[in-house]
Structure 1
Amino acid sequence: MSEHSNADFAAGYPAAADAAGRPGTTAAAPGGGTPAFPRHVVTAVLVSHDGERWLPDALAALTAQERPVQSVIAADTGSADGSARILTEALGAERVLHLARRTGFGTAAAEAARTAGVLTPDQLPYLRRPSGWDPVSRSWRDDAYDMPEFPHGEPVQWLWLLHDDCAAEPDALAAMLRLADDMPSAAIIGPKLRSWYDRRQLLEAGVSIAHSGRRWTGIDRREQDQGQHDGVRDVLSVSTAGMLIRRDVFDQLGGFDARLPLMRDDVDLCWRAHKAGHRVVVQPDAVMRHAEAAARERRSIDCMGRSGQTAKGASPHRVDKAGAAYTLLVNSSTAALPYIAFRLVLGTLLRTLAYLVGKVPRQALDEVAGLGAVLLRPHRIAAARRRRGKPAVPPGDLKPLFPGRGATVRVTVEQVLSNFSGRSEPELSGGGRHGGAVETGPGDDDADFLEVEQFARLKRVARKPGPVLFAVLLLVALIACRELIGGGTLIGGALLPAPADAGDLWSSYADSWHPVGTGGTQDAPPYLAFLAGLGTILFGSTNAALTLLLVCSVPLAGFTAYFASRPLVSSRLLRAWGSVAYAFLPAATGALAAGRIGTAVLAVLLPLLARAAVAASGLRGRASWRGAWAYALLLTVTTAFTPVVWPLAALLAAALAAWAVVRGRSPVGPGLRQLAVLVTPVVLLAPWSLDLLTEPSRFFTEAGLDATADDVSPLGLLLASPGGPNAGGSVLLAGIVLAALAALLRSDRRLPVGAAWAVAAVAGLLAAAGAGDGWTGPQTLVYGLALLAAAVIGADGARHRVAEQSFGWRQPAAVLVAVACAVGPLVLAVGWMWRGADGPLERGGADQVPAFVAEESRTSDQPRTLVVGGSAAQVEYMLVRGAGARLGDAELAAAGGGNSRLSGTVSGLVAGSGADQSAELGAYAVRYVLVRNDAPRTFGRVLDATPGLTRLSQQDGGALWRVDARVSRATVVAGDGEGQGAAEPVPVAAGPVEVHTDIKDGPEGRVLRLADAASAGWQATLDGEPLEATTVDGWAQGFELPAGGGRLDVTYDTAVTHTAWTWARGAALLVVLVLALPGRRRDVDDDLPEAGTPAIPAQALEGDGRRARRLRAQAAAAEAGGAGAPGGAGAPGGVPGAPPMPPAPPGSPAVPGAPDEQPAWAAAPVPGAGQAEQGYGDTAVADPYAAPPQGYEWDGTGYGGQYGGTSYEAPYEPQYDAGAYEGEQRPGAPAVPQQGGQGYGDGEQDPYGAGQYSGPYYDQRNYGAGAERDGSDNA
């Protein structure tokens, strides 16, 4: 380096230099004049840490400033690359501090500022008034004596903080100093930051922080700078990358907080400046580029100390999280501190859960560890708050500088919507949040364009039939279910009324004791948990959950079928037809009409289940474990509602294993996945699922009452009709069966069509096996979907195949089948909409007994009602409590097995034995006997003649009798336990399950009798003393009472094993859910141009065809011309005819990557950094920042030296690809001029703006999308 270039660098104009040519400490304007904004004395402080890749640009931008700095000093924090060498060669050894590698940015900046010192007027003579001596006339000028001592004003000392990965535009410093002149109250001024590579992309124009710790910029992700954020304004903080801060303010605040070595130190410093009464403003006219190297994991973070350090450096996410928590806790007001702490903890828990669901456990751990590192050291927070003292500005004055209420929530919702809609965030967010001028409406010139744009939007909606299809099906369903919409509860058919609150369903599922009939400890059906979960999401309303699953089952089934058929065929018309046909299958509409909640849920989930099954089996592409877990999760839910799905899945899994063996493939991998799929529902639904395995006939049941169905003929099963309501029009589906048969003729679709028919055959066999025992809706639903899948696959492209053949019987047959397929579902839909959802399901009251009976059941006696129905040959009865049976009670009663003594009592009651039945019924706390309207009339006559019963009323064909004797759930009986002793049973006040009352003294040997089945979980105490349990009448729970009275407490204690297993099932279900959900999308570095699809060169083909001969000729020509030569066929990027590279200049190294005579930092071209722009004369000395001639022994980065193209070893996985910045070239490979989007293009192209992204970087928005980013990169 020449002395001239070294000396000139310090300020960009001729300066005093020592004998060695190093920069001096005094400066003057170019040509020796006064610089612009002369009263401002600026000292540039540059901190470097493994920044060899960016330092040349940063140094070039510094020397190219239109208004140069007065002094510059750099601090290198133990860089492992050539950063220290670059700084020393550029600035001189005396202007470079070498600090430890663990030194943070704030510490390094403070040490550099202290070392640089304050430039005095003695060192900068232009600050003082001139002496008055005129060297031309050799006389003194009197006017100099009238000037003040400082003619340009009192000098103001500034520190310009710079990162090694930021580069300022030539007018950046001048713009900030101009603002300092116009706004003397501004103590901290920050520039507008753009991306390093994408120079139009905005990063920051001021920074704030939310109460949750999010870094808030008010800028959307990938938002382009169009001037929408231009405008000088007060902000909470500006980034340390380019921060201009008054030295006195910096000293007053004590510099940066040592507890924030990196990230959020800028927010903390500026927040303290605000509290001290200073202003922080942003100057958008000052523009800088920032690479955010640490935040994007382009280099390691080594300044966090041993506790936060790993072998690969600290995690940026953890560092930023800890910095955010610390900044909020030490700077917030005392009154807001509890709320801030609560928001931090709650937000951390939610984000941790989100990261776990997104399968990024490292960031979930960083969330917890970052917050814990701060909260577990409260003494540091207390000490920092004491150091800050009492603020000079009320906290309320700073409120406008923070994000508005709900802003972060809105951004999070936008991010979730963008993920689900499949659109990128820029497309979703548009132009940004801070718009410029807003028009009140379109002008005359824009009206036509707006009309066309609205029409185009309608066309876009029309091209996406999914939402339109759902809207149409929903409209049809609302018309058909017009009688099922309104107040009341859905009841009828197989559906029992559900409790009003979802919490009651949770209790029914989780409790170990179920007060159904005489009570029992049987396992609750697991579908109650899924209904309770849906009801909880719908604000605790089970009625809304049932309405959604039943009334909306048809449109939801059509929508899921359309969504799941996307990989099946490409034709949207065929997918829409198949979805409509599936939605109006008799099993789907019949399930709605009959209140069969199980089949309705299966209709909605079956298409998704089928798609997951295909993904897990590998029939389309490579099988995946995520698909297997999704399949297992959906199979678990559907099995809980319709158990017959599980054996169907087991049969298909066996068929897949056999198919793999036949094809000669190893069945181990698919077998393990299928085994996991089948075992998962058994484990998650145990012990209920174990009862299914021990009693296989229960596989043919489903959720709800075991309501009988009409007999179905074999023809009906063939046409996918299970019988019951809405089964009469199944003949209209004959076209679907014919289309599925015709699909077998497609030789090119043999595998998918054959698989669909295999599923249809298995489902048809199961439907035939269960046809005589009840409802076969689930089996026929699977059968119908399989037929539709075969028909759709066969019809895809069938029109062209039929048209290619000569006219014959195929064309008329295809037309007839197509018409039948199209007309059939439409006729079914119109008919269903016209007649309504005709069936036993209705909306009415939930009480199944008269109102006064339901009210009396809530008294302290807890009386019950015996409901009798059926026929003379087979009497049906149910012992109900309260207002009647509720959802889930039918399965609990069936699982309990009944009470043989009660069955005998009911048989004797309806047989007319003539004996007094009041004592027998009283033993079960039965006060009322209700005979249903479907019971024979003889039942009423027999009960009228039974002693101890009194008829009360008769409504709708049903009759009600009352037991004359007083009955109660809890009674004190004689010691023999039979209740027939000398003393009458004494009623005891009780609740539905527990008893808490006072009892009086009595005789020895008395027993407390409960009208509930005996169980080991019952516990009773009298004045705190345990009572001995006993069994009364061979089935009822009893406790031996002493003669004395006291406080009686009877409870049922749930076993610890039951509670633990319930929680274990919930945790296992959550794990399966996480495994089934798609992982977080790979983060794409926003600061790189998105790489297009690489062109695949055509290979010469074997054969004698024209194309093969042409390709072989091209390959031969390329070899003859030198495949590796520039512009040849083998040139990178495939650019034909590229001009040859110029010869290497004299003295250039002959070996690629060898050291050059130029310093390593003299590489990157920066516009405006030439000699003419800096006031230099024409000289033969090489410009130290001139770009090297392109094409000669380029090392890939322009830095040369031993580091080649990577400059440092990337410390994180996944690593960035050095080729992403080199156009996929290796270090030392020659660059290709004008390569298509790679390497160097023309003289003005950014040498870093090329290449292709080949690995994810650190997401700059750890706390949300759009307006938040992880933190300012301060290294």
Structure 2
Amino acid sequence: MTQPSPPSSKQRVLALVVARRGDDIADVLASIEPQVYEVEDVVVIADRRPDSAAEAAGPKTARRLSEALDMVDGQVDYLWMLDSRTTARPDALAALIETAESLEASVVGSKVLDSDQPDRLLSVGGPTDVFGFPYTGLERGEIDQEQFDVIRDVAFLEPASLLVRRDLAEGLGGLDHTLPYLSFGLDICQRARVVGGRVVVTPGSEVFSRSSGAQRPTTWREQAGRLRTMLKTYSLVTLLWVLPALFLVGLATWLYRLAKGVLTGPVDWIRTWAWNLLYLPSTLQARRRAPTTSMESDAELFRFQVRGSLELREIAAELGALLGAGAEQEAPDDRASPAFWQRPDFITTVLGVALVLVLTRSIIAEGLPAIGYVLPLAESAWDTLRAYAGGWHPGGLGSPEPMHPSVGATAAIQFLLGGGGGAAGILTVGAVASGVAGMVALIRRLGLSRGARLVAGAVFIAGFPALWLAGEGYWPGLLALGGLPWSLAGVAGPDPETGRGWMGRLGRVGFATAASAAFVPLSIVIPVFFGLVWAVVARRSRPLVVGAAGSVLALPVLLPWLSGRGLADVLSSGAPFHPDPSWWVAIPLLAAGTVAAAVARGHPLSVAVAGVVIGSVGFLVARAGSLGAGQETTAAGLIAAAAGAALVVAGALDAPASLGIDVSLLRTATAYAAMAAAILVGLTTLIAAPAGRMGLPDDRFAAFAFASSRAEAHGPDRVLLTGPAETLPGQHRVLPDGTPYRLIGGVLDYPQAWLPEARLGDEVLEETLVGLIGGEELRPGELLARFGIRWVAASGPSPIADALSAQLDMRPLAGLFVGDSAGVWENDVPAYRAMTDQGVAWSWVAPDYAGRSSGGSVRIAENADHRWGPGAWQQDGWANRVPAEAGVATFGGVGSFRFQARAAAVIVILLVGLSLVRARREAEDEPV
């Protein structure tokens, strides 16, 4: 390097060594002594001054800048600030002085190289975002090839070596010793800019320092330091919008890091703001001492800042890499490039997000339609969780039987989302997005291209199996798609090298399996089956072990629902699905799978074979309704078929690329035929795009709002609903003559979608309806009132609707219809679910009843169970009677079910914790 010539007029320089706790300053002092440009004196800035003997033997020591200046004879023109970990080349100071004098710069910084690897760059200054987050523009481990050797204005300099005009430093009120390393440099640069000073970096001045780690800017101390700097340098107008934005960006960033396994994220975010609140008085005092800020000074700062948040850009880049490259990607660069949108991984992310938005845009804008099992969540998530944990099942005339696991899962998510009414839509869109991202991650881990990953994700969440579930209104099936591919990705992933890594892997597989099984319980076996198939295809046994472990770990999520049913009941209960794909979907998918399995090589061959096996078995299970398979079994079969179809398409798309130049033209052409078939299958996913609600049919149950709009003071009463089976919400019961019917509790919500086994009251209701159809009763209203049925609604042709045309005490409501035909009838007889001896109605406040306290008792029109109370319980026919003096009637709960539900919740929380366990990162340097 050419040694710069000293300026003509000698400028006096004071070297200030900013000592950090525990650092040895001998090296930095030794590098000051041989400088070509001599310093007037050297002063160490340290929190503690040494004793007299040590100070006499070593350099001068001061705690503040003012003390340091007092120790020097005469005035100095510049302060050369060196970090205690810095060593400088002999010509470093001369280059700084020459640049400062020639450019009239107020602050000049050096090029910083790695002391352990002297040819590696650590910092050459750079811009920041509006929040002060630095952008170095360097790749990790970038070699110094003089590519940045140009003097330029910057917003930020690392304080390894800074030359600052003495009058500027004094005018700014001195140095801020409360700030950590990076924020210390930012503070000096920002305050210099505010007063119109010029901040530049000169590559002719080279110093060496130890790397502080890629994560150093994200530590809470640096975050807190940047916030303090903003409070001192920005005008009040700018702070009014910057501080709320920083609050939200910080919250999002720390939550994201929490999801990555940085468990201290939220705590550090709180510490950032708490530290600034603690030091707010001194911050305000420093702001008053500093020159007046204004919009003009802000504009000067904005000139050297990039738009937006660099931290959010990093997150977006990492998410893009996750979608495009899976979890085992290489670590990101030290700083995200502002041009991250040009990366292939980000393009894949944008296309994936666009796909999700197109398929769910109506759900986002208008909410979910009410159809099939797609029903509104209960008003109170907490009360639903109470009922789920061993409480009263609200389906039909009620039961102590445990509710479906999806009821507890949706209520828990609703509770975590704040209990808002939009939780169902958020959950649906989130499941679709998670399904796409998970399948992309799975296909990446299986070694296929970005195009194959994205198309496979589309086929998984919008192929014919998923659309069949949506067409049937089976909402839990759509939600189960969100967790399954992440489970399979964990099964197929590489084996960790440490026990900690194995803990995290099993935790993630278990949690992802639980996230799927909570909605479709029998999908819990799919990871085991996939592990078996992949173990055979990949010729290694670990996938089977991991899949089995994940299923076992996820098993508690099915409690207490599973303990209340036998295996035979789980396999056979509920109306099965009968999927029948169109030929223009089935034939291309079959062709893609068989041809790819026959001609592909390498990874595409393995993926295609696994997809053919899993998809074929899944489809056969989905079609096993004629063999006695029930709803849960066939739903799990459809989900397995969706996963198999995605794998087949991915393998077929990459089949041509797997062939070398040594294959025949016929084989190559056949591989391209498989690829074309896979593209056709991918195009079929656009069927759901026009409506924008994931293939769900139009809203059918909004008309049930009449039960609420016409309710009396005690709230909505029960509705007896009849009509064709496909027009009824959730599950239904069937009379001996095949007439479908079911009860709903006035306000139709998701917990009522599932019906428990029929009990005494349900049997009596069935007998009553059989008599009504047979014409045995001309005044059915009085009989139905005993069940709390105020309304009868027919969503289509039904023998019950025909029988009501000849009765006397059920009044038809002209002009009110539910469905395509039939009508609605109102009971002329008071029909209350709970009524006292005095005829006063009580309200259903799920899962309890509440009303005016009185003497006597209250009749509860729920299936008889001795756990109703408080007080002495009596059976009233098929119903319950309890004392009315408490003004409330509650179900005492089933202790074993309550324990199982709580244990399941604890295990899920433990799985979440395990899933966050990652390999330990390299320890970071402690802040100043």
The letter of the residue matching 1:891 is W
The RMSD of aligned alpha carbons is 6.4
SS at match of 2:444: coil
Report what 1:498 is aligned to. Answer: 375
> Is the 2:848–2:888 contact (alpha carbons within 8 Å) kept by the matching residues of 1?
yes
- The partner residue of 1:635 within 503, 510, 513 is 513
Contact 1:944–1:950, Cα closer than 8 Å, also in 2 = no
Instruction: Indicate yes or no: 2:406 matched with 1:527.
Output: yes
- 2:720 paired with 1:866: yes
Residue aligning to 1:1244? none
Deviation of residue 929 (structure 1)? 2.2
| Match of residue 100, structure 2, among 176, 185, 208 | 176
The verdict on how the C-alpha distance between 1:1035 and 1:825 changes in structure 2, with shifts beyond 3 A counting, is: farther
1:415 aligns with 2:334: no
Residues in 1 aligned to 2:451 and 2:293: alpha-carbon distance in whole angstroms: 61
Q: Which amino acid aligns with 2:570?
A: R
Q: Which runs of 5+ in 1 are unaligned?
A: 1-11, 14-28, 85-91, 100-105, 120-154, 184-188, 299-313, 433-453, 711-721, 975-984, 1020-1026, 1083-1212, 1215-1256, 1259-1269
2:559 corresponds to: 686
**2:329 maps to which residue?**
none
Aligned to 1:45: 16
Match of 1:107 in 2: 63
Deviations 1:846-875 (A, max 9, x none): 3354x6444223643632221235565244
Name which of 456, 468, 488 aligns with 1:590: 468
1:517 to 373, 382, 396: 396
- Note if contact 1:216-1:403 (Cα within 8 Å) is conserved in structure 2: no
Distance 1:1053 1:208, change over 3 A: farther
What is the rounded CA distance, in whole Å, between the counterparts of 1:238 and 1:204 in structure 2?
Answer: 7
Instruction: Say if 2:658 is the partner of 1:779.
Output: no
Aligned to 1:6: none
Query: Could you tell me how far apart the structure 1 residues matched to 2:697 and 2:107 are?
Result: 68
CA-CA distance at 1:634 after TM superposition? 2.8
Superposition deviation, residue 191 in structure 1: 1.2
Letter in 1 for 2:637: Q
| CA pair 804-175 structure 1, distance change in 2 beyond 3 A | closer
Percent identical residues = 18
Contact kept, 8 Å, 2:255 with 2:265, in 1: the verdict is no
2:728 match: none
Alignment partner of 1:698 is 2:577: no
Aligned to 1:971: 835
Whether contact under 8 Å (1:914, 1:947) holds in the other structure is no
For residue 195 of structure 1, the aligned residue among 112, 130, 137 is: 112
- Corresponding residue number in structure 1 for 2:699: 844
SS in 1 for 2:796: coil
* Residue of structure 2 aligned with 1:877, choices 741, 749, 763: 741
* Residue in structure 2 matched with residue 1008 of structure 1 by the alignment: 858
C-alpha distance in structure 1 between counterparts of 2:687 and 2:544, whole Å: 45
- 1:890 counterpart (733, 748, 753): 753
Q: CA deviation at 1:635?
A: 1.8
TM-aligned CA distance change 1:898 to 1:696, over 3 Å: farther
1:963 & 1:225 partners in 2: Cα distance?
86
Q: 1:613 aligns with which of 484, 488, 491?
A: 491
Distance 1:465 1:93, change over 3 A: closer
Kindly indicate whether the alpha-carbon contact (under 8 Å) linking 2:28 and 2:87 is maintained by their aligned counterparts in 1: yes
Post-superposition offset of 1:414? 0.7
User: Structure 2: which amino acid aligns with 1:933?
Assistant: G
How far 1:891 moved relative to its partner? 1.7
The change in CA–CA distance for 1:169 and 1:525 in structure 2 (over 3 A counts) is farther
Deviation of residue 416 (structure 1)?
0.9
How far apart are 1:843 and its partner, in Å?
A: 1.4
1:1033 aligned residue (876, 886, 893): 876
- Would you say how many aligned residue pairs link Structure 1 and Structure 2? 872
2:199 — aligned with what? Answer: 282
Q: CA deviation at 1:599?
A: 4.0
Matches within 5 A, 1:768-1167: 769-772=624-627, 773-774=629-630, 776=634, 778-779=636-637, 782-783=640-641, 785-786=643-644, 789=647, 819=673, 822-823=676-677, 826=680, 842-849=697-704, 852-857=706-711, 859-860=713-714, 862-869=716-723, 870=734, 872-882=736-746, 885-891=748-754, 893=756, 899-914=762-777, 916-936=779-799, 939-946=800-807, 948-952=809-813, 956-973=820-837, 985-987=839-841, 1006-1012=856-862, 1028=871, 1030-1034=873-877, 1036-1041=879-884, 1048=887, 1069=908, 1072-1073=911-912, 1075-1076=914-915
Higher deviation after alignment, 596-605 or 1049-1058: 1049-1058
Amino acid of the structure 1 residue aligned with 2:109? K
| 1:566 counterpart SS class | helix
Please name the residue that 1:359 is paired with: 261
Three-state SS of the structure 2 residue aligned to 1:866 is: strand
Q: Distance in 1 between matches of 2:661 and 2:186?
A: 71
- Normalising by structure 2, what TM-score? 0.71
Q: Using the alignment, how far apart are the partners of 2:917 and 2:758 within structure 1?
A: 38
1:420 maps to amino acid = L
Larger Rg: 1
Q: Give, in whole Å, the separation in 2 of the partners of 1:163 and 1:463.
A: 38
Which TM-score applies when normalising by structure 1?
A: 0.55
State whether residues 231 and 287 of structure 2, in contact with CA within 8 Å, keep that contact through their aligned partners in structure 1: no
Work out the CA distance in 1 between the residues paired with 2:458 and 2:469: 16
Q: Partner of 1:844: helix, strand, or coil?
A: coil
State the match for 2:42 in structure 1: 73
Per-residue CA shift, 1:178-208, capped at 9, x if unaligned? 67xx79xxxxx32134322568775446999
The one-letter amino acid of 1:244's match is V
Q: Is the 8 A contact 2:589 2:648 kept in 1?
A: no
Distance in 1, Cα, partners of 2:714 & 2:589: 58
Identify which of 164, 167, 180 aligns with 1:244: 164
Judged with a 3 Å threshold, the aligned counterparts in structure 2 of structure 1 residues 244 and 614 are, in CA distance, closer, same or farther, namely: closer
Higher helix proportion (structure 1 or 2): 2
Specify the alignment match of 1:1254 in structure 2: none
Aligned equivalents of 2:157, 2:350: Cα separation in 1:
44
Q: Is contact 1:97-1:112 (8 Å) kept? A: no
Contact persistence 2:605–2:651 (CA under 8 A): no
Quick one: structure 1 residues 517 and 59, their matched pair in 2 at CA, closer, same or farther if it must change by over 3 Å?
farther
Which amino acid is 1:597 matched to? W
Deviation at 1:682, TM superposition (A): 2.0
Alpha-carbon contact 2:129-2:307 (below 8 Å) kept:
no
Return the offset for 1:906.
Answer: 3.2
Q: Give how far 1:293 is off.
A: 3.5
Contact 2:378–2:750 (CA under 8 A) maintained in structure 1: no
CA distance in 1, matches of 2:226, 2:427: 45
Aligned equivalents of 1:405 and 1:897: distance in 2? 77
Structure 2 match to 1:127: none
- Partner of 1:862: helix, strand, or coil? coil
- Quick check: 2:436–2:460 contact (8 Å CA) kept in 1? yes
Cα deviation, 1:1231-1266, whole Å, max 9, x if unaligned, reads: xxxxxxxxxxxxxxxxxxxxxxxxxx65xxxxxxxx
Flag the 1:338–1:166 CA change in 2: closer, same or farther, 3 A: farther
Counterparts of 2:126 and 2:457, CA distance in 1: 50
CA separation of 1:291 and 1:171: change in aligned 2, threshold 3 A: closer
Cα-to-partner distance string for 1:228-272 (whole Å, 9 max, x where unaligned)? 99459xx8999483243537975995x656766967556778999
Deviation, 1:344, is: 9.3
Q: Match for residue 727 of structure 2?
A: none
Which gives a bigger RCO, structure 1 or 2 (Cα 8 Å, sep 6+)? Answer: 1
Q: Structure 1 CA distance, aligned partners of 2:128 and 2:674?
A: 65
1:943–1:374: structure 2 CA closer, same or farther, 3 Å change rule?
A: closer
